[in-house]
Amino acid sequence: MDNPNNEGDATLKTRTLLAVLATIACTAAHADYDAKMEAQEAAQRKAAAAEKAKRDAAAQAQKSAAEQKMMRGTLGKEAEGKSDAEVALRPEDGGLHERC
């Protein structure tokens, strides 16, 4: 004669096995996560981005200075005594330099 408890035992064993497998899977997924290392890497990325922004700003300032020097050289005596803004303005705005 069949034991009516066999079906319940199989279901319990299956559920237990699934719970154990789920626990193992979750543990393995988080085993590589290191919060301290993640924070350090984030700080390094932030510092690298700040350094790049600083270099870009310095390059832009150098480029602007070179353009201003070129404009003053091209305009010669017309640029003497004028501010950088006046030299850079278009003639219709009251400045000396005509932009392309």
Count the domains in the chain: 2
Q: Look at residue 23 in the predicted model and tell me its pLDDT.
A: 79
Q: Look at residue 1 in the predicted model and tell me its pLDDT.
A: 42
Residues 60 and 100 in one domain: yes
Label residue 100 by pLDDT band (50, 70, 90): very low
Q: Look at residue 84 in the predicted model and tell me its pLDDT.
A: 73
| 9 pLDDT more than 60 | yes
Would residue 43 count as lying in a domain?
Answer: no
Whole-Å CA distances, 15 to 3, 22, 46, 74: 20, 10, 46, 84
Would residue 17 count as lying in a domain?
Answer: yes
The whole domain housing 92 covers: 56-100
Would residue 76 count as lying in a domain?
Answer: yes
CB atoms within 10 A of CB 60: 10
* Mean per-residue pLDDT, 47-62: 96
Q: Look at residue 29 in the predicted model and tell me its pLDDT.
A: 58
CA dist 22 and 86 (Å) reads 72
